[in-house]
A = this chain, B = another copy of it.
Amino acid sequence: MKKTVNVGLIGFGTVGRGLAEALHRHQERIAKQCGLHIRLTKIFARSLTALPPEYATAQLTHSADDLINDPDIDILIELIGGIEPAKTFILQAIAAGKHVVTANKALLSQEGQEIFTAAAAQGVEVGFEGSVGGGIPLIKGLKEGLVANQILSVMGILNGTANYILTRMTDEGIAFAAVLKEAQQLGFAEADPTYDVEGIDTAHKLAILMSIAYGMNITHAQIATEGISRIEPLDIDFAREFGCRIKLLAVSRSLESGEIEARVYPTMVPVSHLLASINGAFNAVEFCGDLTGSIILSGAGAGKLPTGSAVAADVVDIARKIAAGSVSRVPALSYLAEHVTDRKIASSEELRSASYLRITALDKPGVLANIATILSRHGISIESVIQKGREENEPVAVVILTHTASEAAVAAALAEIDALAAVTAPTVRIRMLAEE
């Protein structure tokens, strides 16, 4: 039995330092748990001239080849993020027979198939627990803990920045732009927040979870995605009146047709649902298994030490397998490579949900009748209508809750409604979380 496993690290940013700290702080404890020593031997960090003193036992290098070609390194950890050069480094490491651990959700949700296929061919492992949900053991829980279940749905709050913004808007009634600006100043949000607030990062993570949950090939580009930038405090107030909170949800379901639903959108979540209570930068995912029913896992969805913990867990997992000679015991995507299938993503026009519609219209006689007629013509029935404030010739918010209707019908109706002369701004639509 091999008693030392050597690890090389590419990328020494926030998560890289978290991983280094996790391995450093818990070296002895981990040895007591797996009977072997995990040594971080080389760190690739182009911008540094020296490593912080606590990591001085590792060697600093400015060349990734130094790690990839080092026969003593068993596991290569990639934490630089982005598509290139991360992809090339990972494929080179796999070709060199090394196991890989990464937290790179953008890469895996786009190029995962190529990476996992190369790893399976080489008989090496790819760990990616850190790519979704920070320190929450989501991937291990899904892949191994729920292995005996058919997964019926995966739903969750997967972006801490978006959830932080919505939580501040909810608790304090502040507008989206103001919260975003403050979050940027505090370093919680990126200078370019597009990935976070437009749902793209959430779609990356959903694609990764779906590939495991349903044993399927999928890229994030196949997921219809809407963000939260058009949500206003008014919508949050209405949500509260309806006993809901607005959350940016990733939603996927295995449909009876055999197709898979996959969407990211702001959603009205009833306060009785646990996901409505996930606040601030926290993440949570609900897996619905045919045997278990709803299983919810939550925790800090990002950050130096939480994500470092997840990356370190993958490293320990692979180190144990190396020591026991049992690499590839659990397939990367849960299903054996030959059983990973292409499943059809349901066209969003076919999907159905109930909706909250906030229509901005001049308060003139007949406007509501026109709107109701349009909805009715498209087969959309109305559950309730609320109109607040009243000022002649000033636009007011007309809020309509609809019963379940197809996306196609709602899109067609909204196109007509927004074309009415009395409607002065695009309608904001928020889907209602479907009852179980």
Q: Are B321 and A292 in contact (CB under 8 A)?
A: no
Which of A39-47, A53-61, A236-244, A324-332 contacts its partner?
A324-332
- A374–B119 Cα distance when bound, in Å, is 70
Query: Cβ of A135 and Cβ of B295 under 8 Å apart?
Result: yes
In contact, B309 and A149 (Cβ under 8 angstroms)? yes
Number of copies: 2
Tell me which residues across on chain B come within 8 A of A328, comparing CB atoms: 324
Check A148 against B295 for contact (C-beta < 8 Å).
no
A 311-326 binary contact with B (CB < 8 Å = 1; else 0) = 0110011001101111
Closest residue of chain B to A293, judged by CB? B300
**In the complex, how many angstroms separate the beta carbon of A40 from the nearest chain B beta carbon?**
13
A305 within 8 A of B: yes
Q: Which of chain B's residues have a CB closer than 8 A to the CB of A316?
A: 144, 147-148
Nearest Cβ in chain B — how far from A301, in angstroms?
Answer: 11
Cβ distance A68 to chain B, nearest Cβ, rounded Å: 25
- Taking the nearest CB of chain B, how far is it from the CB of A100, in angstroms? 18
Contact of A135 with B289 in the complex, beta carbons under 8 Å: yes
Interface 1/0 per residue, A278-320 and B, CB below 8 Å? 1000000000011111111111100001101110110011001
Task: Kindly list chain B residues whose C-beta atoms are within 8 Å of the C-beta of A297.
Answer: 141, 295-298
* A292 near B309: Cβ-Cβ < 8 Å: yes
Closest to A215 in B: B32
Residues of B within 8 A of A339 (CB): 32-33
Contact A148 B336 (CB under 8 A): no
Would you call A144 and B313 a contact (CB within 8 A)? Answer: yes
Q: Is there contact, CB below 8 Å, between B309 and A135? A: no
CB-based contact A334/B33 at 8 Å: yes
Ranked 10 nearest A-B pairs via Cβ:
A137-B145, A326-B326, A135-B292, A148-B312, A324-B326, A291-B309, A32-B339, A295-B299, A291-B305, A137-B141
7 contacts between A and B (CB under 8 A): A33-B335, A136-B295, A291-B312, A292-B305, A296-B299, A297-B298, A326-B326
**Interface, chain A (partner B; CB < 8 A):** 18, 22-23, 25-26, 29-30, 32-35, 129, 134-137, 140-141, 144-150, 215, 274, 277-278, 289-300, 305-306, 308-310, 312-313, 316-317, 320-321, 323-326, 328-331, 334-336, 339
